[in-house]
Amino acid sequence: MIQFQYEGSKVPVYSWTNAIEATAREQIEHLSKLPFAYHHIAIMPDCHSGYGMPIGGVLAADHAVVPNAVGVDIGCGMVAVKTTLQNITADQIKRIIGKARDIIPVGFNHHKKQQESPVFASVPDVEIIHIELESARHQIGTLGSGNHFVEIQKGDDGFIWLMIHSGSRNIGKKVCDHYNQRAIDLNARWNVTVPAKWELAYFPVDIPEAQEYLAAMEFCLRFAKANRSLMMKRLKEIVFEVAGGSQQSKEICTHHNYAAWEVHYGKKVLVHRKGAIRMFEGDVGIIPGSMGTPSYIVEGLGNPEAFMSASHGAGRKMSRAEADKTISEEQANKAMNGIVYGRWSRDRKGRLDVSECPLAYKDIEEVIQQELDLIKPLVKLQPLGVLKG
C-alpha cells in the first residue's frame, strides 16, 4: 500500500497501485479535499477514471452522500454458482450460449412481457422509482451492454462454474441522474465549497433529498441482485438441460457500486464503493477478470486501511475509444484463443468494437497480487465460453 497526500487536502490517500492515469489522479485529489471525507481515501489496484470519482475508489463520508460516488449503475455486481459438472464440451458451450441468447436479452433489448419478481413486492415511496417501475418490470432478467457478461468457467477446484456480471439496468441510471442533478442544484443554491466541475455534488444525510436517494438506491440494489438471480436461474436451467449436472453451492453475490453505513476507525460513516467490493473478514466475494481472462472467488481479510474493501475486477488500462483505435481484430481474436465467444460487433459505419477484449484491461494476476493484504484467493476460474452484453 502506498500512502500520499495532496497539498491542501483534508485526508491522505491509501493506494494499492501506483499505475494511476492522470485523470484518475485528479479525481482522487478532489475526493481527498471534500469537506466531509473521513480519515483517508482508499484506492484499489483496478483504479481508472470515472464520472467525478474514479472506478476502484472508496470514500468514507461523514454524514454526506454523493450520488456520483456510487455511479449510474447502482448495484452493479456479480453472481457466481459452482456446479457438480467437472467437464463440458465446446459444442455444449455453444448450444448453451445460443439458448441463453434467446432467453436473456442483451444490449438495449428488454423482455417483451413483464417479468415476475419478489423485488416488486416492496417498492419505496419515491417518485422516480414509480416512474421507472413499468419499464423495470420488462428489464429485470436482462444483461445490458458494455462489460456485462454471462460466462461459463472451469475452476482450479475441478468444477464448472457459472458467472454473471450485470446491474440495475436503466432504473439505476435514472436514479443517479435525477439525484445528482438535484444535488447540483442545491449545492449551487448553498454556495458550497465543492467546485461544480469536480462532479461530486452531495447531500447532507439529514435532508429529505438524501433520504429519498438512499431509499431509491437501496431499491436499485435489490433490483440488481434480483436481476442477476433471475438470469442465473434461467442459465442454470439451460446448462443442466444441455450438459447435465446440478448446482453445488449457494449463489455468491457481490455488489460493487453502492453506499452503506459502516463503522470504521470508531466512527459511523457512509462508505461509498464505486467499482469496489466489501471485504470484511470472512466475506466471500468475486473479482472477475476481463473478457477472456481468469476470475477469482476470494475471501475478505477485513483490512481497515482499505475500509475493508477490494477491487471489483481487473480495471481498464485504456478507454473504449483508445482500444478501438489501437487493437486490431486479429489481436482481439488472438486474446480470446480457446474461448467460445461471439463475433466482435460493429457500428453503423462498420467500425470494429473491441473495447471489451482482454488487451483493453489491466492484468488480473497483477491486480490480485497487489491486494493480497485485502483478500485471500479461494478459486481461480478460467473462462470457457462468454456471452457479452
* Beta carbons within 10 angstroms of residue 365's beta carbon: 14
Instruction: Determine, yes or no, domain membership for 120.
Output: yes
Closest of 282, 288, 280 to residue 311, by C-alpha? 288
Closest of 78, 114, 144 to residue 284, by C-alpha? 78
Instruction: Determine, yes or no, domain membership for 326.
Output: no
Q: How high is the pLDDT of residue 228?
A: 98
Q: How high is the pLDDT of residue 350?
A: 76
Q: How high is the pLDDT of residue 146?
A: 85
Cell numbers representing residue 194 in the block: 465543492
Instruction: Determine, yes or no, domain membership for 348.
Output: no
Q: How high is the pLDDT of residue 306?
A: 98
Strand ranges for 113-189 from DSSP E: 149-155, 160-166
Q: In Å, how far are 288, 296, 340, 352 from 379, measured between CA atoms?
A: 11, 6, 21, 34
Instruction: Determine, yes or no, domain membership for 77.
Output: yes
CATH number at residue 93: 3.90.1860.10
Q: How high is the pLDDT of residue 352?
A: 83
Question: What percentage of the chain has pLDDT greater than the value 70?
Answer: 100
pLDDT digits (tens, 9 = 90+) for 112-124: 999 999 999 999 9
* Beta carbons within 10 angstroms of residue 242's beta carbon: 18
Cell numbers representing residue 348 in the block: 453503423
Q: How high is the pLDDT of residue 273?
A: 98
pLDDT digits (tens, 9 = 90+) for 287-317: 999 988 999 999 999 999 999 999 999 999 9
Q: How high is the pLDDT of residue 67?
A: 98
pLDDT at 141 over 80: yes
Separation CA 46–CA 20 (nearest Å):
9
pLDDT at 348 over 80: no
Separation CA 374–CA 106 (nearest Å):
33
Per the structure, how many domains does the chain have?
1
Separation CA 224–CA 258 (nearest Å):
11
Instruction: Determine, yes or no, domain membership for 126.
Output: yes
Q: How high is the pLDDT of residue 39?
A: 98
Give the domain range for residue 178: 2-317+361-388
pLDDT digits (tens, 9 = 90+) for 209-255: 999 999 999 999 999 999 999 999 999 999 999 999 999 989 999 99
**Active-site residue, selected from the candidate residues 110, 256, 272, 312:** 312
Separation CA 349–CA 211 (nearest Å):
45
pLDDT digits (tens, 9 = 90+) for 170-211: 999 999 999 999 999 999 999 999 999 999 999 999 999 999
pLDDT digits (tens, 9 = 90+) for 30-77: 999 999 999 999 999 999 999 999 999 999 999 999 999 999 999 999
Instruction: Determine, yes or no, domain membership for 110.
Output: yes
Cα 360 from chain centre? 17
> Active-site residue 272, yes or no?
no
Write out the H or E segment, with its range, that includes residue 224. helix 208-243
* 71: alpha, beta or left? (left if phi > 0; alpha if psi -120 to 50): left
pLDDT digits (tens, 9 = 90+) for 356-368: 999 999 999 999 9
Give the DSSP per-residue string, 227-260.
HHHHHHHHHHHHHHHHH---B-SPPEEEE-EEEE
What is the rounded average pLDDT for all residues in the chain?
96
Instruction: Determine, yes or no, domain membership for 237.
Output: yes
How does residue 108 score in pLDDT terms, banded at 50, 70 and 90? confident
Closest of 370, 260, 378, 375 to residue 309, by C-alpha? 375
pLDDT at 12 over 80: yes
Separation CA 374–CA 355 (nearest Å):
29
Using DSSP's 3-state secondary structure scheme, residue 24 falls into helix
Q: Is the dihedral of CA 42, 364, 80, 48 positive or negative?
A: positive
How does residue 342 score in pLDDT terms, banded at 50, 70 and 90? confident
* Amino acid at residue number 181: Q
Instruction: Determine, yes or no, domain membership for 98.
Output: yes
**DSSP H stretches of helix in the chain:** 22-32, 90-103, 127-139, 169-190, 208-243, 320-326, 329-335, 364-370
Q: In Å, how far are 152, 274, 323, 324, 379 from 294, measured between CA atoms?
A: 11, 22, 20, 22, 10
pLDDT at 389 over 90: no
